[in-house]
Amino acid sequence: MRQPDGSSRATRNRVEVHEGPNGPVLALFGPFTVETAASVRRQILMKLSARVVTVLEVDVSGIEGTDMSGLAVLHELGRGRFTPGVLPTLTGLRRQLQMLMRAFPSEETLGLGRPPAHRISLPDEVGQATLAIAHDLGEQVAFLGAVLQALVAGLRRPRTLRWREIGIVFEKAGVGALPIVSLISFLTGIIIAFESAQPLARFGAQIFVANLIGIMMIREFGPIFTAIILAGRSGSAFAAEIGTMKVNEELNALETMGLDPVRFLVVQRVLAGTALMPVLTAYSMFMGVFGGVAVMQMIGFPPARIWTQLSGAVDLSDLLVGICKSIVFGSVVSALGCLRGIQTKSGPTAVGDSTTRAVVAGIFMIIVIDALFAVVAYELKV
């Protein structure tokens, strides 16, 4: 009944209106399929707009082959959608097609499924969002407790910690990050040196570029940039891994086996993240200072001079502040990644949402913690 090869035969379609015994008759000829339905519909509209009808008969006996798209136009015709106030009668419809026509749902059936229009109210949305933030903060605190508990339990019995997995995470999140950490730190060092060299030259204080590089890379940029890279590379990965496991019901499987997902999945990642951050940060500090020193040498300072200036500017407490930050960053970023993974809801975008939330929350917390460190370090004068 349907043309097997319904390629463009629109030219063979005809729509005619002639006067029959009971008033005007709209007659359709030719194939009436998904390829031709739109053009036939336009022709029908054109023919009907040319005249005012009070009754209409639609003769479809001239149709050669049709499908649902063609029948949909007939359905519209029969419902009087093109002839306001007039319900045309369809004639010449083969029995098989009449049965197919019944597939078009009635308005009543449609009414059952159609969702009510969604109304957005501002107070409602604000309230929902506030509650969600409060709820999330609560969950973060509870999660922190659960992780600490599992961590202590794990450290008491180190054999239960699944060290192999810690090693794998350490390698993926740590060793794998070396290239990007190298590049970003090295370039940051170069940028700081270049940007500060000009203004300082005006005061004849270009040698203090070394102080700037040392303090900024070791106290601030080393830890922060490494942490942001960790959030982007590994916090997101943790969220996606655990999120996918949640979607696949693997977390439920763990739980019913009596295995705590936090102990089984989170502790390893948090431990690895916490352990690799100081190492990666120290490397980043070195690369940054190296970049700055390279620029200073290019400007014309002898290496010995740069070294004396650098070692005078940076002392052990700066290094300790930087490393302490990195440890805190590492644990917070990896824990947040895992938390977002565990919070993953169902649905196709859920894992994507979780990774986004992991990275955003990670970067947000990095900056907040850094600000806290700045205040505390100022008060303690370190």
Partner 1 sequence: MSSEPAVISVRDVTIGYARTVIQHSLSFDVRRGEVFIILGTSGSGKSSLLKSMIGLYPPISGEILFDGENIVTAMGKDRLRLLRKFGVMYQSGALFGAMTVLENVRLPLDEFTDLDAENKDLVALAKLNQVGLVSAAWKMPSELSGGMQKRAAIARAMALDPGILFLDEPSAGLDPITSAGLDALIRALSRDIGITFVVVTHELASIYAIGDRCVMLDPATKTMIAQGPPADLRDGSDNPLVRQFFRREAASAEGR
CB of 237 to partner 1, least distance (A): 22
- Any contact of residue 117 with partner 1 (CB under 8 A)? no
CB of 30 to partner 1, least distance (A): 17
Residue among 153 and 247 whose Cβ is closer to partner 1: 247
CB of 112 to partner 1, least distance (A): 5
Q: Tell how strand 57-66 and strand 23-32 pair up.
A: parallel
**Burial track 157-187 (b if 16+ CB lie within 10 A, e otherwise):** eeeebbeebbeebbeebbeebeeebbebbbe
Residue among 17 and 247 whose Cβ is closer to partner 1: 247
- Any contact of residue 163 with partner 1 (CB under 8 A)? no
- Any contact of residue 60 with partner 1 (CB under 8 A)? no
- Any contact of residue 67 with partner 1 (CB under 8 A)? yes
Q: What are phi and psi of 361, to 5 degrees?
A: -60, -40
- Any contact of residue 347 with partner 1 (CB under 8 A)? yes
Angstrom CA distances, 95 to 3, 76, 91, stand at: 18, 19, 11
CA distance 309 to 303: 10
- Any contact of residue 240 with partner 1 (CB under 8 A)? no
- Any contact of residue 37 with partner 1 (CB under 8 A)? yes
Strand partners, 16: 27
Helix (H, G, I), strand (E, B) or coil at 270: helix
Specify whether the backbone of 85 is left (phi greater than 0), alpha (psi in -120 to 50) or beta: left
Residue among 66 and 206 whose Cβ is closer to partner 1: 66
Residue among 8 and 54 whose Cβ is closer to partner 1: 8
- Residue type at 355 in one-letter notation: T
Residue among 41 and 219 whose Cβ is closer to partner 1: 41
Strand partners, 19: 24
Residue among 2 and 142 whose Cβ is closer to partner 1: 2
CA distance 183 to 52: 76
Specify the DSSP class assigned to residue 11: G
CA-based end-to-end distance of the chain: 87
Residue among 41 and 263 whose Cβ is closer to partner 1: 41
- Any contact of residue 112 with partner 1 (CB under 8 A)? yes
- Any contact of residue 109 with partner 1 (CB under 8 A)? yes
Exactly one of 71, 147, 209, 271 binds partner 1 (CB under 8 A); which one? 71
CB of 353 to partner 1, least distance (A): 12
- Any contact of residue 33 with partner 1 (CB under 8 A)? yes
- Any contact of residue 100 with partner 1 (CB under 8 A)? yes
Angstrom CA distances, 19 to 55, 57, 105, 220, stand at: 11, 10, 32, 88
Q: What are phi and psi of 18, to 5 degrees?
A: -135, 165
- Any contact of residue 41 with partner 1 (CB under 8 A)? yes
Binding site for partner 1 (CB under 8 A): 1-2, 4-5, 7, 33-35, 37-38, 41, 67-69, 71-73, 75-76, 81, 96, 99-100, 103-105, 109-110, 112-115, 346-349
